[in-house]
Structure 1
């Protein structure tokens, strides 16, 4: 049984050791089927540095993220309640594959730090160590015609794969994870 957690984060900056997560969205995919999706909007770690440029990219303001109804720990508990429906953290053979777009270099370190900040040192009990990264799969797919792409952003890759986009919705974590999942299945079709 293949269990994939497609996910995306919106953060208060680019450095996982000093910025925090304010939106965590995901799609629980089991054997190629969506079984649940979620969109957790939370106040970031109270110690997180907030970069206004990062908030502008995500289309939110300080006031918005400060008004979110749940704090970081409640956001973590919400995520764990979802994960625990589908995997047992006590079973070493039952874990999610994490999958995102450029997640190896950005989202994965933020998510791991988020677990640690919430007092959970058992990130590896939920997820396999080797996550899937759609940007890597796309790099292989576009190996011979990479120069045709103006950049290698999610939107550019998706459009090159003939996935229709709403550019106004980009940088909303739930929208981005939906597009990431579509890209994944274009690059790795289920047989």
Structure 2
């Protein structure tokens, strides 16, 4: 993560714009993994009215997308409508290059480990936003907590829209 917002004169690739737009939608105190972001973007389906949409959302037709990876194992490709798709690594690359101007700390590793090199800055943000964290074991290097993924993970449904993942049992883990 460079920490520097992209200048107005620099054109972002379309896929990068989509990743950054989604990062901005993640509510405070919630997170999405790199893979969640990639999956969410791959399942987008532009609705007939031109507004934002998602495959399987109410009123949207469901059906297979035509994602064809560029190379075997890369996870990136193009959808049937020609829009770029990507996997977790592509999302991570976008966040590393362009993520400084968005809430980068809300796009995380699936194991909840804090972003190497940015742990203390991220931890400060998580605490300020009330993001659920798990206490680190004494054997953990640096004794840094992890994100409590079961409670903090967000599925992309806007608050109040129903269906967002809520921790099934708030008594698990510690809120730091």
TM-score in terms of structure 1 length: 0.24
More strand by share: 1
Rg larger in 1 or in 2? Answer: 2
Which has the larger share of helix?
A: 1
